[in-house]
């Protein structure tokens, strides 16, 4: 390395600020749709393993385990999934 010369930047290093800006932007409707699709896929995988927390929530509600259902609902809400319990079943939304 010669004194006074700047070190070479790795290939693709110029793209980093662009990706940083994308990460700091507000989510769009397309981002929301993609997140909903990923959540549906994740629920399908968890359902195969009998580990779906949304099913656990509804099962607890139908068995009148309201404290357990409320705990599960609160944990899901902290993860960004809002659940409103209705007589016909839970209504879910991303918060």
Residue 81 and residue 92 in contact, taking contact as beta carbons nearer than 8 Å: yes
Q: Give, for 23, the enclosing helix (H) or strand (E).
A: helix 16-23
CA 1 centroid distance within chain? 46
pLDDT, tens only, 19-67: 555 566 676 777 878 888 888 888 778 777 777 777 788 788 888 888 9
What percentage of the chain reaches a pLDDT higher than 90? Answer: 1
Where do the domains of the chain lie? 54-82
How many whole angstroms separate alpha carbon 62 and alpha carbon 58?
A: 6
The answer to whether residue 72 scores a pLDDT higher than 60 is: yes
What pLDDT, on the 0 to 100 scale, is given for residue 67? 92
């Amino acid at each position: 390395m010669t004194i006074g010369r700047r070190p070479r930047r790795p290939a693709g290093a110029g793209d980093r600020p662009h990706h940083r800006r994308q990460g700091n932007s507000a989510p769009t409707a397309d981002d929301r749709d993609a997140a909903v699709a990923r959540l549906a896929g994740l629920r399908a995988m968890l359902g195969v393993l009998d580990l779906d927390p949304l099913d656990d929530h509804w099962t607890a509600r139908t068995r009148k385990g309201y404290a357990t259902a409320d705990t599960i609902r609160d944990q899901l809400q902290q993860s960004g999934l809002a659940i409103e319990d209705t007589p016909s079943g839970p209504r879910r939304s991303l918060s």
